[in-house]
């Protein structure tokens, strides 16, 4: 607890914000280094000048083809997906005042994944750019469904009820998704891999199709972070402060659907990023969601890159990132729960 305690008791005024700003700059500066490392994990090493040449001055060599078709798309997809899911989780935790809220636990990822698989299996759609729209639709529908299920009955949408509704919907949709994938012989292996969350084999086009939406969502989240912080104080205080609750809840929901939906369209339902990263950010910078959202982007991007690359680097085993992320995320999550006595009622 020593870093956050130090920041919290920093001298009044700009001292604390200055320290947080430096920390954010360091986190952002580490990302290119991490990406360079990730690009180099594999049988063909790619030095820095080779990387630059491959991007700026493509010569068709085997090294450049691997870089452009395999390594770079994978790393870029990881950066995007990690940042998007983590920021979506941060927004959800703020708006629902729920420490368990995340696109994975509240069924948003499962809804997007189910809609995408349905579109592939039943209607034969393909191309990430097209499937993304189904992901948005599925994510939005799941969000509405979980909110309605979770706020039914007495006491409204308590954190526990929302989490339960999300778990139920996730289990239900995941089993439907699996059923479709098991029964449909024609579905490609890449779709099966995608359905557990994977960054491998993402074509450059897919990354390019998602990137504008993801970046727009991230920028929107940063812009909306101050109202989101006020929203996190609860409806009573926020409306007394003059906030238009309906407007900012809607903006938050649209941002979450945009961020999580496009991430799932690209890499499938990767769990734990959206849950764990905002908590880690909160431990570092305190309860101000302006900073939590800003920190969640680089932390989420870095975590997904490490999860996707770490095992390949250490043992040469290429497991889908949805699985490696769960291996990292589950123990981290348990540690977080044990550290803070969460009140879920």
Partner 1 sequence: MSEMTATARLEARSITVGYSNRDVLRDLTLSVPPGRFTALLGPNGSGKSTLLRALAGLARPSAGEVMLNAAAMRTMSRRQIARHLSLLPQTPRAPDDISVRDLVAQGRYPHRGLFKPWSSMDREICTRAMEMTAVADLEAKSLGHLSGGQRQRAWIAMTLAQSTDMLLLDEPTTYLDIAHQLDVLDLLRRLVRDEGKTVVAVLHDINHAARFADHLCLLKEGEIVASGPPGEIIQARHLRTVFSIDATIIHDPIDEVPICIARR
* Positions that interact with partner 1 (CB under 8 A): 4, 8-12, 16, 97, 223, 226-227, 229-230, 232-234, 236-237, 239-245, 286-288
Closest distance of CB 95 from partner 1, Å:
14
List, in order, residues 6 or more apart from 67 with CB less than 8 Å away: 39, 46, 50, 51, 54, 55
CA distance 20 to 14: 10
CA distance 205 to 295: 28
Closest distance of CB 155 from partner 1, Å:
15
Q: Toward partner 1, which CB reaches closer, 112 or 285?
A: 285
CA distance 52 to 70: 16
Closest distance of CB 298 from partner 1, Å:
22
Q: Toward partner 1, which CB reaches closer, 8 or 29?
A: 8
Q: Find out whether 142 and 264 touch, Cβ atoms under 8 Å.
A: no
Closest distance of CB 243 from partner 1, Å:
6
Q: Toward partner 1, which CB reaches closer, 152 or 240?
A: 240
Closest distance of CB 296 from partner 1, Å:
16
Q: Toward partner 1, which CB reaches closer, 14 or 122?
A: 14
CA distance 77 to 54: 18
Kindly list the distances between the CA atom of residue 74 and the CA atoms of 190, 259, 313, 328, 335, in Å, as whole numbers in the listed order.
14, 18, 15, 19, 30
Closest distance of CB 223 from partner 1, Å:
7
Distance of CA 340 to the CA centre of its chain: 23
Closest distance of CB 229 from partner 1, Å:
8
List, in order, residues 6 or more apart from 119 with CB less than 8 Å away: 125, 130, 131, 134
Q: Toward partner 1, which CB reaches closer, 102 or 128?
A: 102
Q: Toward partner 1, which CB reaches closer, 34 or 253?
A: 253
Q: Which of the 8 DSSP states describes residue 47?
A: -
Q: Which of the 8 DSSP states describes residue 105?
A: T
CA distance 199 to 40: 16
Furthest-apart CA pair in the chain: how many Å? 65
Closest distance of CB 5 from partner 1, Å:
10
CA distance 247 to 156: 20
Kindly list the distances between the CA atom of residue 62 and the CA atoms of 37, 43, 46, 312, 330, in Å, as whole numbers in the listed order.
19, 12, 11, 21, 38
Q: Toward partner 1, which CB reaches closer, 182 or 223?
A: 223
Segment (H or E) for 277: helix 273-285
Closest distance of CB 21 from partner 1, Å:
14
Q: Toward partner 1, which CB reaches closer, 36 or 248?
A: 248
Quote the crossing angle between the two packed helices 289-315 and 204-223, to the nearest 10°: 150
């Amino acid at each position: 607890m020593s870093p956050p305690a130090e920041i919290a008791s920093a001298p009044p005024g700009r001292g604390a914000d200055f320290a947080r700003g430096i920390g954010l700059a360091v986190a952002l500066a580490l990302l290119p280094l991490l990406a360079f490392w990730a690009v180099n994990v594999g049988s063909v090493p790619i030095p820095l000048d080779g990387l630059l040449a491959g991007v700026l001055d493509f010569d068709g060599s085997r090294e450049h083809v691997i870089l452009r078709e395999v390594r770079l798309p994978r790393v870029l997809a990881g950066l995007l997906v990690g940042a998007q899911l983590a920021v979506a989780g941060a927004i959800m935790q703020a708006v629902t005042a729920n420490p368990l809220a995340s696109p994975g636990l509240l069924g948003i990822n499962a809804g997007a994944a189910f809609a995408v698989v349905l579109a592939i299996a039943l209607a034969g759609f393909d191309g990430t750019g097209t499937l993304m729209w189904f992901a948005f639709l599925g994510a939005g529908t799941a969000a509405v469904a979980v909110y309605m299920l979770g706020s039914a009955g007495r006491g409204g949408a308590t954190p526990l009820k929302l989490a339960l509704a999300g778990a139920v919907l996730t289990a239900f949709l995941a089993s439907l998704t699996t059923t479709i994938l098991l029964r449909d012989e024609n579905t490609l292996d890449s779709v099966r891999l995608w359905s557990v969350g994977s960054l491998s084999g993402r074509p450059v086009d897919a990354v390019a199709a998602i990137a504008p939406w993801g970046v727009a969502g991230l920028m929107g989240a940063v812009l909306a972070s101050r109202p989101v912080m006020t929203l996190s104080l609860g409806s009573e205080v926020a409306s007394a402060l003059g906030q238009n609750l309906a407007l900012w809840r809607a903006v938050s929901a649209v941002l979450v659907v945009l961020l999580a939906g496009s991430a799932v369209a690209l890499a499938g339902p990767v769990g734990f990023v959206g849950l764990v990263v905002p908590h880690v950010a909160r431990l570092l910078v305190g309860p101000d969601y302006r900073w939590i959202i800003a920190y969640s982007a680089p932390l989420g991007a870095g975590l997904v890159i490490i999860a996707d690359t770490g095992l390949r680097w250490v043992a040469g085993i290429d497991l889908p990132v949805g699985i490696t992320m769960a291996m990292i995320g589950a123990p981290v999550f348990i540690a977080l729960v044990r550290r803070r006595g969460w009140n879920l009622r």
